[in-house]
Structure 1
Amino acid sequence: MATELEEKLIEEELGYPIRLSEQVRAAVDEANLFKLECSEVGKQVDRVSQMLRTMTRFASTAQFLYDRPIRRVTAEVSKNLERALTLVRKCKRRSVLRRVVTIVSAADFRKVQSFLESSVGDMRWLLSIFDTENGGAGGGGINLSLPPIASNDPILSWVWSFVATLQMSQLPEKIEAANELASFARDNDRNKKIIVEEGGVPPLLKLLKDGASLEAQIAATAAIYNLANDQERVRAIVNELGVQIIVQVLSDSPMVVQTQAARLVARMAEYDTIAQEDFARENVIRPLVTLLSFETFVDDHKDQSSKQSFHSIVQINKQMEKKTLTRPNSRPYSNSNSNSNYYHYYYHSNEGSSRAGQHRRERENEKPEVKLSLKISCAGALWMLAKGSVLNSRRITETKGLLCLAKLVEKEEGELQYNCLMTIMEITAAAESNADLRRSSFRINSPAAKAVVEQLLRVIRELDNPILQVPAIKSIGSLARTFPARETWVINPLVTQLSHRNPDVAAEAAISLGKFACLDNFLCVEHSKTIIEYNGVPQLMRMLRANERTQWHGLILLCYLAIHAGNSEALEQARVLTALEGADRTVVAQHPELRELVSKAIDHLNLYRVGVQSQMHSFVP
């Protein structure tokens, strides 16, 4: 409903051209020259004035009012009335000098009459889209006729008509209008900009929030999704409280709508960090993890339940119910190591309402492809929320999201598996940059961390797919500082990938191993020896003959090995010193930033070589 201030502003906006029309009528009555032409101008102005008064009455009584076209048309009408007033006033005989200096021609009247005809057409169109009786937006129809004001830009008038329909029509017409806006927004960025500028976002969000029908929510979500591929437009959605509405829809809607809402979360978080932060602040991560974990641990729960006595199951359920009643706002996490107990409790504590329970029953009966689509969307949303955000990554780990992601990487394939791997990659990247997150979420004795690492290594070893292997390798590299020296089983799969036929996989393996062997890693010496033990040196030597990116990262890792394990026979047998000296003349010339590292590695190898030679001479008889 329009506020009193808005109504007042619209009435004032309409009042100005009405006063102008009255002044034109008075000037027509006083005209002494071109009386016939002035009379024709007066007739057109009267028509415009009548329509302005009709629009004013409607604006003052309408429950919902879409004011964008009113303001634009009224401003154009006012300009044309000002032109008419200026012309007619020139036709009043006042003195001989006035007659001499005032030159008015028939062409001037034709021009003004043309402007006034456009104003009549604009006002007729404006009234038609608010007409409650003859098929306008207010009467249950979409008006696709073109007013003169939009003759050179028909998209503008169509957007006006669709938005007015969204605000004032019945549900079927609202759905049609939302679908049309979604189609327009899909076409090009200019259409998107017009829709946002002309106030299309608020009624779309309202249609989504009201949940009047499944079709309406899908149409609204599709339109908003198509708009949200630009930071400025995403910010416009955020400013209209879109984040809160989308989170509510995600938490309490049918599965098809939840899928679209999750896609929208991912899209907005991808393009705007403010939206990314706002979604997390509205606790969107919790429902996303809940939906992603739906049915993921069912088999585990059944297996564990079959091993327990009936009495123990009853006791667990009683404890969970007690926690739910006494701590409704607390985090619903069990301290038990049982994954199935956690998810059993999670659902009991978060779906207590009858409506949520109803939606869960509907989810259980949905088709497998619908469930899969929802999980893909939720995983994609978590990926975009975690991207570049330590805080959001921490929130995902605090909702036991790591365990769920690891399980899906193990069980699923295709896009869902990929999205889960990318989410893990972003979380581990955040952990690499934040020691607190690394210590809290990736402890060696953490079941979730173990599950994640096991699945990452399985992907690296068993799935010969670079698209999946690259994020898995990056994730292990990001966790390099969490592994103790005895965890050599983590390094072996990475060393194996140094000889992968795909140069990107080989390069990423070298980068990740470099994080184990670099100076920043407290265990760099032990890890360097392990890399050499797993036969990493010959593979790195081959990398020096590959493409520039692979050569670059292979050279860096080789330098680390030389610096931390320069007394290794494997380095001498592979003639690493000679290779580094050659690289110092070729590669370093193109990349001066490597000069210091390569020089340091050469010095270490030379020191060892000199030491060995002196020892040999000392034993000569």
Structure 2
Amino acid sequence: MAQHHKSIQQQLALQILLADRLVKSVKDLQPSKLDCSDLATLAAQLAHLLRSTARLVTSSSTTFYDRPLRSIFSNLSLNLERAQTLVRKCKQRSGILRQVFAITTAADVRKVSSLLESSIADIKWLLSVFVPDDNAGVNPSLPPIASNDPVLAWVWSNIATVHHSTQLKVRVDAANSLGSLAGDNDRNKKMIIEEDGIPPLLKLLKEGASPESQIAAAATLHALATDGEKISAFVRSMAIPTIVQVLNDSTSVVVRTNVINLLSKMAEIDPLVQEEFGRENVTRPIVTFLANDVVLDDIITTSGYQYHFNSSLSFNYKKETDVASPEEKLDLKISCARALWTLSKGSLSNTKKITETKALICLAKLIQHENQQLQINCLTTVTELTAVAESNAELRRQVFKPNLPAARTLLDQLLRVLNHEPNPELVVPAITTIGSLARTFPAKETRILGPLVSKLDNEVSDVTNETVMTLTKFVCPDNFNCVEHSKAILEFNGVPRIMGFLKSSDDIKIQVLGLKLLCYLALHVGNSNVLEEARVLSVIEGGARSVLTQYPDMRELFAKAMHHLNLYQPGVRTHKPAYVP
């Protein structure tokens, strides 16, 4: 451990001292002793190679990549000490301690010589990796120290090349090789990270020498970012500010896409990283990229609404200088939308940052005009933003009130999806979003509940299940307008559809969803003939008997609903006490 904390220069000085001392010790042997001259020759060769290594380290213009050197030194110290012990025994053979020490044989000398030869081969390999050779690329040979694990040598070679090569193409090839190794298995990923592979990749990404180099670095980092432990290594290497800086500086659409994919993956894996990206204001360039080529002025002009956050929209990123194809520009927008959803998921601070920009209007326009994956990603982003707002009244009031232009524009698109889109991947997040905003809609808002109720007839279970959960949010007692919303559901023929929903599945979880909705309707509009004609009381009683064993927390709600229905339906329960679970 102490050796690990020594600087590489200190370790080199120590190894040179040990090699010189071995040379001197061999020369001091009397001619009659066992021939150890080979040891002196090998030690002298080691000293020469170590001095060459020292010059290389000293002349390096950047921080020297020392992981392989430290590993080689660990073995070299042991080998030199073993050789020194052997020479010391040779000196003592004719002395009075002759009986104490084991008899030194030629086999012992050959064995120690072999160890020193291995160390020489390791250092030669090291020098071949670090000494610039613009045409050679990564050294394919295998040093003795990695003979039992060839991958280690490849990892060292590629990391060293990314770090030190003067040829950009060679560095890019090495970065791609690391990415290929990382893609093979998790062990390789861990090895690359443990051998300090992240810093040179971040350096290659940050330098911006070419789009190809940045893409190679970002792709390899993406392959390495697979769990929280690995993401922590990224954070320790200052990956977050580097990524944000690259986004601010890059002029390449493809580079931006790759870097945004990397940050999305990191933010999705680690909530702390998600928040740290927000503190670095990464949402600003992402929203700007997403809004590029999206016409927003018509909404602002027709609404007469001046955004109080206009100053936050003047993010001065560098315009693209490369020629990007429409497909590449679409990929960037898809990645931006996904990044906004991963950054906003469960994060109040990031959600506020995103909604302080023109993101909502931009998302609404893209939902309106785009299709497939971009449309899905934008809807998912809106779902995450509103999920955060659902639990924060201030955010709902400031951003998502239906009379605000951005919120109204978004609602128009949600309703369009609800009424006209057949794809469940679009319909489900639209329904979920409306549910998250259920407490923001006034009683006079009549456009929403009709389309929602109609979705109870949908053939896709995900759609009907989400619809029931969303309708429940409209009529739950926490919603100030729950009575008016309950009346609207009845007017849109919701009760027969809810009954059909209950009959369509034997899954108890699904039954609980529908029963909870019926209970709330019973509490708010229990005097309606619609409920009596649909025999809702009997359905709730039967449902209570079947689900209470697994959902005991529903007991009080069932009891209240049945009691309330009995107040208005006396003929149904004549001479029979109300069922109280």
What is the TM-score with the length of structure 2 in the denominator? 0.90
Question: Conserved in 1, the CA contact under 8 Å of 2:284 and 2:315?
Answer: no
Q: Structure 2: which amino acid aligns with 1:40?
A: D
Aligned to 1:15: 13
Unaligned runs of 5+ in 1: 1-5, 305-333, 615-621
Aligned partner of residue 128 in structure 1, secondary structure:
helix
1:578 to 533, 538, 541: 538
Number of residue pairs the alignment of both structures matches? 564
Aligned to 1:205: 202
Aligned to 1:87: 86
Per-residue deviation, residues 588-617 of structure 1 (Å, max 9, x unmatched): 223222222222222222232239989xxx
Quote the offset at 1:31 in angstroms. Answer: 5.0
Question: Conserved in 2, the CA contact under 8 Å of 1:32 and 1:93?
Answer: no
Aligned to 1:192: 189
User: Which sits farther off after the overlay, 503-512 or 272-281?
Assistant: 272-281
2:400 to 429, 442, 449: 442
Question: Conserved in 2, the CA contact under 8 Å of 1:507 and 1:549?
Answer: no
Question: Conserved in 2, the CA contact under 8 Å of 1:503 and 1:550?
Answer: no
Quote the offset at 1:418 in angstroms. Answer: 0.7
Quote the offset at 1:165 in angstroms. Answer: 1.2
CA distance in 2 between counterparts of 1:96 and 1:237 reads: 60
CA distance in 2 between counterparts of 1:433 and 1:348 reads: 27
Question: Conserved in 1, the CA contact under 8 Å of 2:566 and 2:573?
Answer: no
Quote the offset at 1:242 in angstroms. Answer: 2.3
Q: 1:517–1:37: structure 2 CA closer, same or farther, 3 Å change rule? A: farther
Q: Is 1:512 aligned to residue 470 of structure 2?
A: yes
Question: Conserved in 2, the CA contact under 8 Å of 1:289 and 1:401?
Answer: yes
CA distance in 2 between counterparts of 1:433 and 1:425 reads: 13
2:491 to 522, 529, 533: 533
Question: Conserved in 1, the CA contact under 8 Å of 2:34 and 2:90?
Answer: no
Aligned partner of residue 489 in structure 1, secondary structure:
coil
Aligned to 1:123: 123
Aligned to 1:158: 154
Q: 1:56–1:342: structure 2 CA closer, same or farther, 3 Å change rule? A: same
Question: Conserved in 1, the CA contact under 8 Å of 2:337 and 2:374?
Answer: yes
2:242 to 220, 241, 245: 245
Q: Is 1:273 aligned to residue 271 of structure 2?
A: yes
Q: 1:35–1:128: structure 2 CA closer, same or farther, 3 Å change rule? A: farther
Question: Conserved in 1, the CA contact under 8 Å of 2:179 and 2:220?
Answer: yes
Aligned to 1:619: none
Quote the offset at 1:45 in angstroms. Answer: 2.5
Aligned partner of residue 569 in structure 2, secondary structure:
helix
CA distance in 2 between counterparts of 1:196 and 1:350 reads: 34
CA distance in 1 between counterparts of 2:378 and 2:206 reads: 29
Per-residue deviation, residues 127-176 of structure 1 (Å, max 9, x unmatched): 111223xx3x8x86321211111112222211211121122212121111
Question: Conserved in 2, the CA contact under 8 Å of 1:234 and 1:272?
Answer: yes
Q: Structure 2: which amino acid aligns with 1:337?
A: S
CA distance in 2 between counterparts of 1:384 and 1:276 reads: 8
What is the TM-score with the length of structure 1 in the denominator? 0.85
Question: Conserved in 2, the CA contact under 8 Å of 1:162 and 1:180?
Answer: yes
Quote the offset at 1:399 in angstroms. Answer: 0.5
Per-residue deviation, residues 284-312 of structure 1 (Å, max 9, x unmatched): 21111111111111xx65x79xxxxxxxx
Question: Conserved in 1, the CA contact under 8 Å of 2:390 and 2:396?
Answer: yes
Aligned to 1:479: 437
1:374 to 309, 332, 335: 332
CA distance in 2 between counterparts of 1:559 and 1:183 reads: 57
Aligned partner of residue 605 in structure 1, secondary structure:
helix
Question: Conserved in 2, the CA contact under 8 Å of 1:31 and 1:89?
Answer: no
Q: 1:330-345 maps to which residues of 2 (within 5 A)?
A: 337=303
Aligned to 2:347: 389
Question: Conserved in 2, the CA contact under 8 Å of 1:33 and 1:93?
Answer: no
Q: Is 1:144 aligned to residue 140 of structure 2?
A: yes
Q: Is 1:235 aligned to residue 193 of structure 2?
A: no
Per-residue deviation, residues 439-473 of structure 1 (Å, max 9, x unmatched): 11012211110111121122122212222211111
Per-residue deviation, residues 232-281 of structure 1 (Å, max 9, x unmatched): 32232233332222223223322121121221221121112232222222
CA distance in 1 between counterparts of 2:313 and 2:92 reads: 88
Q: 1:349-368 maps to which residues of 2 (within 5 A)?
A: 349-351=314-316, 356=318, 359-360=319-320, 362=321, 366-368=324-326
CA distance in 2 between counterparts of 1:74 and 1:474 reads: 60
Per-residue deviation, residues 509-561 of structure 1 (Å, max 9, x unmatched): 11111111112112222212222221221222222231333222112111111
User: Which sits farther off after the overlay, 441-450 or 602-611?
Assistant: 602-611
Quote the offset at 1:348 in angstroms. Answer: 9.7
Aligned to 1:600: 560
Unaligned runs of 5+ in 2: 575-581
Per-residue deviation, residues 184-240 of structure 1 (Å, max 9, x unmatched): 222222222222222222222222222111211211221122222222322322333
Question: Conserved in 2, the CA contact under 8 Å of 1:251 and 1:258?
Answer: no
Aligned to 2:577: none
Aligned to 1:282: 280
CA distance in 2 between counterparts of 1:85 and 1:96 reads: 18
Aligned partner of residue 57 in structure 2, secondary structure:
helix
Q: 1:600–1:50: structure 2 CA closer, same or farther, 3 Å change rule? A: same
1:464 to 405, 418, 422: 422
CA distance in 1 between counterparts of 2:32 and 2:195 reads: 42
CA distance in 2 between counterparts of 1:104 and 1:559 reads: 95
Identity of aligned residues (%): 50
Aligned to 2:42: 44
CA distance in 2 between counterparts of 1:34 and 1:486 reads: 111
Quote the offset at 1:93 in angstroms. Answer: 2.0
Question: Conserved in 2, the CA contact under 8 Å of 1:33 and 1:91?
Answer: no
Question: Conserved in 2, the CA contact under 8 Å of 1:567 and 1:605?
Answer: yes
Aligned partner of residue 53 in structure 1, secondary structure:
helix
CA distance in 1 between counterparts of 2:312 and 2:436 reads: 32
CA distance in 2 between counterparts of 1:96 and 1:81 reads: 24
CA distance in 1 between counterparts of 2:223 and 2:212 reads: 17
1:216 to 209, 213, 218: 213
Question: Conserved in 2, the CA contact under 8 Å of 1:209 and 1:249?
Answer: yes
Q: 1:36-75 maps to which residues of 2 (within 5 A)?
A: 36=34, 38-64=36-62, 65-75=64-74
More helix by share: 1
Aligned partner of residue 98 in structure 1, secondary structure:
coil
Per-residue deviation, residues 387-417 of structure 1 (Å, max 9, x unmatched): 1111111111110100000110010111100
